[in-house]
């Protein structure tokens, strides 16, 4: 590895294309919804609290002429593939279609969004892969979207936000998990909210920094829900990828969860082994942001506490700027561990990435 290509051959499991405006999606809507964009004055669904011009949102040299980042393929091609030497990058498009309340409308715009990803991105750059954005407002329509996209093997997983309508473990959502499992697609749970309720358990925060940092609470709640309801007993082939969740909270959470499971397991007899074991078999986390100090010894101890070197997946979160310079991987990692994070673990998590290997 050298400075010119710090992640040569890597599979980047979380990068973010941005929809420039609602007109980009209009060609992929049916005639009724095309008309509704005009008649209803639909301007788009991007979260209004997200600050696109803040330093966290993109490094200055990754921005386009309009100050925004991630709106076209070329910068991805240049940064991820030419400069960093990545092999694949997985597009997780966060466009706020999750905030729509009308189930039919949510499904229509999500279908258009996935079609736009296929045509404007995947057809343009063969090294890109993508997540199927799922209209979780209706499990029935989410399964339809999975069935529609699954033949296109450039789509490698389903994508939901960590905060939606209700806890993800509920049986309401199980048809979605069965469909994902059937097609060899992991479920990616990414930072973000449909804003159905406050993003913290104690009420609404006042600032974006609180909103962003507090997302970890939701990841803990969703992991507890998925495990307690028995999703992984129902779908033994399902993998869940926690994206942009941070990492360091997990060991302490699992210790507490597994300890209390031993005392309360009579409530959930279908959970037949400690949560920490279930996580090791079914759950993966993307690397950025790595919420740890730079001290290599601390990073090593955290990886040690995770109890496995198979849990983490390399990601840059490009064009969001979660790390210094090009340092998306901690320096202290051994060459063997870097290879696991960048290549082996993603290939083991996403069966479809092996198609053309
Ligand atoms: Zn992300």
DSSP string, 55-110: GGG--GGG--TTS--S-SHHHHIIIIIIIS--SEEEE----SGGG---HHHHHHHH
pLDDT of residue 53: 73
Whether the pLDDT of residue 106 is over 80: the answer is yes
Measured in Å, residue 11 CA sits from the centre of ligand 1 at: 14
Measured in Å, residue 51 CA sits from the centre of ligand 1 at: 15
Measured in Å, residue 190 CA sits from the centre of ligand 1 at: 7
Measured in Å, residue 246 CA sits from the centre of ligand 1 at: 10
pLDDT in tens, 200-216: 989 999 998 898 888 99
Measured in Å, residue 15 CA sits from the centre of ligand 1 at: 6
Tell me what the mean pLDDT of segment 180-189 comes to: 98
- The per-residue b/e assignment along 87-106, b for 16 or more CB within 10 angstroms, e otherwise, is bbbbbbbbbbbbbbeebebb
Measured in Å, residue 189 CA sits from the centre of ligand 1 at: 10
Confidence at 232, pLDDT banded by 50, 70, 90: very high
What are the structural domains, with CATH classification, of the chain?
Answer: 11-354 (3.20.20.140)
DSSP secondary structure letter of residue 186:
P
Measured in Å, residue 288 CA sits from the centre of ligand 1 at: 8
Task: Please give the helix or strand (H or E) that residue 156 lies within, else none.
Answer: strand 155-163
Whether the pLDDT of residue 339 is over 60: the answer is yes
| % pLDDT > 90, the chain | 75
Contact 106, 144 (CB under 8 A): no
Measured in Å, residue 92 CA sits from the centre of ligand 1 at: 7
Task: Please give the helix or strand (H or E) that residue 14 lies within, else none.
Answer: strand 11-15
Confidence at 357, pLDDT banded by 50, 70, 90: very low
Confidence at 333, pLDDT banded by 50, 70, 90: confident
* DSSP letters for 190-257: EEEE--SS-SSTTS--SSHHHHHHTHHHHHHHHHHHHHHTTHHHH-TT--EEEES--STHHHHHHHHH
Tell me what the mean pLDDT of segment 275-284 comes to: 97
CA distance 189 to 109: 20
Measured in Å, residue 32 CA sits from the centre of ligand 1 at: 32
List, in sequence order, every residue forming a beta bridge with 283; answer none if it has no partner: 240
Measured in Å, residue 38 CA sits from the centre of ligand 1 at: 31
Measured in Å, residue 129 CA sits from the centre of ligand 1 at: 15
List the one residue out of 185, 32, 25, 180 whose CA is nearest residue 118.
25
DSSP secondary structure letter of residue 164:
S
Measured in Å, residue 108 CA sits from the centre of ligand 1 at: 24
Kindly state the tokens that stand for 272.
């037949």
pLDDT of residue 1: 43
**Maximum average pLDDT range among 2-6, 41-45, 64-68, 131-135:** 131-135
pLDDT of residue 47: 66
Measured in Å, residue 40 CA sits from the centre of ligand 1 at: 31
Measured in Å, residue 273 CA sits from the centre of ligand 1 at: 31
SS3 261: helix
Lowest mean pLDDT among 18-32, 43-57, 273-287, 309-323: 43-57
Using CA atoms of 198, 203, 204, 207 in order, give the dihedral in degrees to the nearest 10.
-120
Contact 154, 128 (CB under 8 A): yes
Measured in Å, residue 31 CA sits from the centre of ligand 1 at: 32
| % pLDDT > 70, the chain | 97
CA distance 117 to 224: 32
Tell me what the mean pLDDT of segment 312-316 comes to: 95
Whether the pLDDT of residue 4 is over 70: the answer is no
Instruction: Look up tokens 């051959």; give the residue.
Output: 9
Tell me what the mean pLDDT of segment 131-158 comes to: 98
163 — phi, psi (to 5°)?
Answer: -120, 105
List the one residue out of 154, 165, 181 whose CA is nearest residue 103.
165
Measured in Å, residue 268 CA sits from the centre of ligand 1 at: 32
Whether the pLDDT of residue 293 is over 90: the answer is no
Contact 16, 286 (CB under 8 A): no
Tell me what the mean pLDDT of segment 155-174 comes to: 97
List the one residue out of 241, 243, 271, 245 whose CA is nearest residue 258.
271
Measured in Å, residue 258 CA sits from the centre of ligand 1 at: 28
List, in sequence order, every residue forming a beta bridge with 159; answer none if it has no partner: 133, 188
Which residues have beta carbons under 5 A from ligand 1 (an ion)? 14, 244, 317
Whether the pLDDT of residue 2 is over 60: the answer is no
Measured in Å, residue 90 CA sits from the centre of ligand 1 at: 10
Tell me what the mean pLDDT of segment 302-312 comes to: 87
Average pLDDT of the chain to the nearest whole number: 92
* DSSP letters for 110-134: HHHHHHHIIIIIITT-TTEEEEEE-
Confidence at 299, pLDDT banded by 50, 70, 90: confident
């Amino acid at each position: 590895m050298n400075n010119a290509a710090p992640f040569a051959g890597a599979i980047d499991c979380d990068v973010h294309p941005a929809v420039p405006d609602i007109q980009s999606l209009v060609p992929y809507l049916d005639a009724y919804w095309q008309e509704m964009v005009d008649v209803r004055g639909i301007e788009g669904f991007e979260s209004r609290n997200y600050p696109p011009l803040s330093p966290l949102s993109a490094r200055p040299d990754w921005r386009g002429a309009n100050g925004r980042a991630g709106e076209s393929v070329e910068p991805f091609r240049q940064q991820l593939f030419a400069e960093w030497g990545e092999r694949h990058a997985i597009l997780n498009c966060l466009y706020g279609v999750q905030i729509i309340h009308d189930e039919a409308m949510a499904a229509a715009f999500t279908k258009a969004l996935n079609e736009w990803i296929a045509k404007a991105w995947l057809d343009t750059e063969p090294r890109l892969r993508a997540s199927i954005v799922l209209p979780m407002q209706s499990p029935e329509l989410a399964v339809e979207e999975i069935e529609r996209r699954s033949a296109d093997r450039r789509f490698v997983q389903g994508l939901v936000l960590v905060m939606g309508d209700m806890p993800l473990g509920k049986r309401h959502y199980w048809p979605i998990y069965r469909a994902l499992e059937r097609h060899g697609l992991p479920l990616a749970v990414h930072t973000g909210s449909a804003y159905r309720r406050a993003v913290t358990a104690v009420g609404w925060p006042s600032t974006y920094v609180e909103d962003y940092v507090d997302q970890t609470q939701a990841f803990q709640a969703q992991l507890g829900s998925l495990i307690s309801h028995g999703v992984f007993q129902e779908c033994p082939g399902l993998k869940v990828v926690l994206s942009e969740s941070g990492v360091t909270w997990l060991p302490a959470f699992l210790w507490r969860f597994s300890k209390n499971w031993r005392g309360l397991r009579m409530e959930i007899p279908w959970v037949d082994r400690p949560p920490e074991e279930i996580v090791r078999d079914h759950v993966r986390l993307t690397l950025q942001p790595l919420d740890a100090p730079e001290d290599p010894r601390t990073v090593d101890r955290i990886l040690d506490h995770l109890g496995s070197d198979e849990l983490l997946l390399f990601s840059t979160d490009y064009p969001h700027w979660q790390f210094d310079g090009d340092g998306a991987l901690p320096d202290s990692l051994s060459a063997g561990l870097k290879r696991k994070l960048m290549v082996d673990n993603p290939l083991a998590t996403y069966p479809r990435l092996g198609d053309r290997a």
